[in-house]
Chain A
Amino acid sequence: MDTRDNCVRLKILRYNPHIDSNPHYETYSVALGEEKVNLLQALETIYQRHDESLGFRRYSCGIQFCNSCLMLINGKPSHACLTIVAAGEEYEVAPLKGKQVLMDLIVKDHC
Chain B
Amino acid sequence: MKVNTIKTDVLVIGAGGAGTRAAVEAAQTARQVTLVCRSPLGKGGLTPTANGGYHAAVWPGDSPAIHAEDLIAMGCFLNDRNLVDALAQEALEQAQLLEKFGAAVNWDVPPKPQEPQMRYPRSLFVPGREVLGALNRQLRTCGNVLILEDQLALQLLTVAGRVTGALLFDIAAGSLTVCESKTTIMATGSLGEIYPRSAQEPMGLPTGSTGSGYVLAGLAGADLVDMEMIQFVSIPLEPPLVTGMRCLPWASLKNAAGQEFLPPDAGEYSHEAAQAVYREISEGRGPLLMDLRDRKPVAHFRHPLFGQRSRHLQEFGVTPFQRPVSVGVGALFMMGGIHINERCETTVPGLYAAGEVSGNVHGARRVSGNAFPEMIVFGARAGKYAALEAGKQAALSDVPQSQIREIREYLSILIAGGGRQGDIAPREVRQKTRQIMEEHGNLIRNGEGLRTALDELGSLEQDLPSIRLKPAAGLGFNAGLLEAIDAGWMVATARIVCQAALLREESRGFHFRSDFPAEKEDWLKHTVVRREKAGWVGATKPIVI
Q: Residues of A at under 8 Å CB distance from B? A: 16, 18-19, 35-38, 40-41, 44, 47-48, 52-53, 55, 57-68, 81-82, 84, 102-103, 106, 109-111
Contact = CB atoms under 8 A, between A and B. Distances in A.
B203 interface: yes
Interface stretch (B84-92, B155-163, B302-310, B498-506): B302-310
A65 B316 contact: no
B73 to A, nearest CB: 33
B474 A63 contact: no
A13 to B, nearest CB: 15
B480 A52 contact: yes
A15 B359 CA distance: 43
B470 A52 contact: yes
A62 B50 CA distance: 10
Given A58-B479, A68-B40, A19 B474 contact: yes
A66 B305 contact: no
Contacts of B309: 62-63
Q: Max chain A CB contacts within 10 Å: which of B44, B203, B480?
A: B203
Nearest to B477: A103
B477 A55 contact: yes
A57 B129 CA distance: 18
Nearest to B425: A52
Nearest to A33: B239
21 contacts: A18-B476, A35-B239, A36-B241, A37-B241, A44-B205, A52-B470, A53-B470, A53-B473, A59-B205, A60-B205, A62-B202, A63-B309, A64-B305, A65-B128, A65-B129, A65-B305, A66-B42, A66-B43, A68-B44, A103-B476, A111-B43
Contacts of A84: 315-316
Contact of A63 (B244, B306, B316): B306
Q: Which of B149, B206, B315, B479 lies at the interface centre, i.e. has the most chain A CB atoms within 10 A of its CB?
A: B479
Given A58-B479, A109-B149, 17 more contacts: A16-B474, A19-B474, A36-B241, A36-B315, A40-B203, A44-B205, A47-B479, A57-B43, A60-B203, A61-B48, A61-B202, A62-B202, A62-B309, A63-B48, A63-B129, A65-B305, A111-B43
B309 to A, nearest CB: 5
Interface in B484-516: none
Interface of B: 39-40, 42-44, 48-49, 128-129, 149, 172, 202-207, 239-241, 244-245, 305-306, 308-309, 312, 315-318, 427, 470, 472-474, 476-477, 479-480
Contact of B241 (A41, A47, A57, A58): A41
A62 B204 contact: no
A51 to B, nearest CB: 10
Contacts of A18: 473-474, 476
A62 B49 contact: yes
Secondary structure call for the A interface:
loop
Contacts of A63: 48-49, 129, 305-306, 308-309
A48 B306 CA distance: 29
Given A65-B305, A66-B44, A36 B317 contact: yes
Contacts of A40: 203, 205
A59 B241 CA distance: 13
Contacts of A44: 204-205
Contacts of B479: 47, 52, 55, 58
Nearest to B312: A82
A70 B498 CA distance: 39
A84 B44 CA distance: 22
Nearest to B172: A102
A79 B239 CA distance: 21
B43 A67 contact: yes
Nearest to B473: A19
Given A40-B203, A81-B203, A62 B476 contact: no
A23 to B, nearest CB: 14
A80 B271 CA distance: 36
A95 to B, nearest CB: 13
Interface centre among A35, A38, A84 (most CB of B within 10 A): A35
Contact of B48 (A35, A57, A66): A66
Nearest to B483: A52
With a 10 A CB-CB cut-off, give which of B204, B207, B245, B312 has the most chain A CB atoms: B312
Nearest to A66: B43
Given A64-B308, A68-B44, A84-B315, A35 B241 contact: yes
B48 A65 contact: yes
A16 B241 contact: no
A58 B205 contact: yes
A102 B40 CA distance: 13
A101 B206 CA distance: 23
A41 to B, nearest CB: 6
B203 A38 contact: yes
